[in-house]
Amino acid sequence: MHMCIDETGSNDLTLTIYHESFFIGKAITHRMNKILNDEQITHLVYV
């Protein structure tokens, strides 16, 4: 599994998750939202 976080703008955060399971990806996204507290994930890309 590979996860890449790219800051593309002032408050824009792009989280790209490479995983075969969309549901696991959602769980990780939820976890990342808790970890990043003050940050907002604005773009999700699943490949």
Task: Report the predicted TM-score, pTM, of the whole model to 2 decimal places.
Answer: 0.21
DSSP 46: E
- What pLDDT score does 1 carry? 45
- pLDDT for res 4: 54
pLDDT, one tens digit per residue, over 16-37 is 555 455 556 666 666 666 666 5
**Domain membership of residue 21 as a residue range:** 2-46
Q: What is the DSSP letter of 18?
A: E
- Rounded to whole angstroms, how far apart are CA atoms 7 and 18? 17
CA angle 11, 16, 25 (to 5 degrees): 115
Domain count of the fold of the chain:
1
